[in-house]
Amino acid sequence: MYNAFFQLKISRDKEPEYIMQQSIAKAKVLIDSLPYIREFNEKTVVIKYGGHAMVDENLKRNFALDIILMKYIGLNPVIVHGGGPQINRFLEKMQITPNYIQGMRVTDGETMDVVEMVLVGKVNKEIVGLINHCGGKAVGLSGRDGDLVQARKMQIHGKADDPNRPPELIDLGRVGEVTRVDPEILRTLDVQDFIPVIAPVGVGEDGQAFNINADLVAGAIAAELNAVKLILLTDVEGVQNGRGELLSTIRRDEIEDLIHREVIGGGMIPKVRCCQSALDGGVTKTHIIDGRQEHAVLLEIFTPEGIGTEIVS
């Protein structure tokens, strides 16, 4: 009994020292972050929010807190979100089978109604509500609000069976590509210290809605706002080499060779293409990171190593 009491006493004697060490460690984290806080103060960071980070409850809350912290310390975060799995679940309830061509959702009029209802009416409001509940000031938008994201019908071609004939034009329905971003509404929200949360639905010249890939929307908005960073959250660690090792940095002029050698393939190709376009549009750095990692956005911005792949000019 005496030994047990003696050990407990030692533990209690050490407790204030342990607490002090923990506090010092937290202070060092803040000090280490100071150069990045100074560098990115009043700068815009566009984040494409998607994948597992939008499903796991703990990750959702951590993401909201990360965004709020960024705003409080002087950054200007802009969020563009996806919602493919949520759309598919709703389509299944309506007994509509999703159809994809070259990785893009074929979007007829009925499917477009579901896309807009789920992305704008459900997913967007949930993200906005969580940020506000955690102490932030967020406002939900779609690309149709204030003609923010203007679009036209996307045209893609299939493979030609006959080399003497042009490839067949494939109709994806109301799938769009960005033609112009009007940032006026975003600048107005920034002046009022709101965090914009944007659903990737664009508007055509005739006023009709277009379903647009969220990565493409995020890249176009980042370029228009001269963002210091574009960050794409994914469900993979980043871009990997042929041995499965993470490529921490890729230069823009290396991308074509990596695609040609099939180091970059599948769903990663449109993501790096998005990063290319953003860099061409004036974005300083682009990042593809693993959204399954807690506080992924903060780790990428405020640590020298980062956690994913940065693509730079």
What one-character DSSP code corresponds to residue 287?
E
Q: What digits encode the pLDDT tens for the residues 237-296?
A: 888 887 888 889 999 988 898 888 888 887 788 889 899 999 999 999 999 999 999 999
**Residue 89 neighbours by CB under 8 Å, 6+ apart:** none
Of the candidates 306, 305, 252, which has an alpha carbon nearest to the alpha carbon of residue 282? 252
Q: What digits encode the pLDDT tens for the residues 38-92?
A: 888 899 999 999 888 888 899 999 999 999 999 999 999 999 999 988 998 999 8
Interval 183-200 mean pLDDT: 95
pLDDT at 16 over 90: no
**pLDDT for position 167:** 64
**pLDDT for position 200:** 96
Q: Which of 1-10, 224-233, 240-249 has the lowest mean pLDDT?
A: 1-10
Q: What digits encode the pLDDT tens for the residues 214-224?
A: 999 999 999 99
What pLDDT band is residue 159 in, cutting at 50, 70 and 90?
A: low
Q: What is the pTM of this model?
A: 0.87
Interval 228-233 mean pLDDT: 96
pLDDT at 118 over 60: yes
Q: Which domains does the chain have, with CATH numbers?
A: 41-312 (3.40.1160.10)
What pLDDT band is residue 1 in, cutting at 50, 70 and 90?
A: very low
**pLDDT for position 33:** 82
Interval 179-193 mean pLDDT: 94
Distance of CA 94 to the CA centre of its chain: 28
Interval 11-20 mean pLDDT: 67
**pLDDT for position 182:** 95
Calpha distance 114→87 (Å, rounded): 7
**pLDDT for position 261:** 87
**pLDDT for position 161:** 56
What pLDDT band is residue 36 in, cutting at 50, 70 and 90?
A: confident
Q: What digits encode the pLDDT tens for the residues 161-171?
A: 556 666 667 77
**pLDDT for position 2:** 44
Interval 291-306 mean pLDDT: 89
**pLDDT for position 5:** 44
What pLDDT band is residue 142 in, cutting at 50, 70 and 90?
A: very high
Query: What are the beta bridge partners of residue 234?
Result: 290
**pLDDT for position 25:** 78
**pLDDT for position 64:** 96
Beta strands in the chain (DSSP E): 44-49, 76-81, 100-101, 104-105, 138-142, 149-153, 156-157, 169-170, 176-181, 195-199, 201-203, 209-211, 229-234, 249-251, 285-290, 309-312
pLDDT averaged over every residue in the chain: 87
**Residue 75: how many CB atoms within 10 A of its CB?**
20
**Residue 38 neighbours by CB under 8 Å, 6+ apart:** none
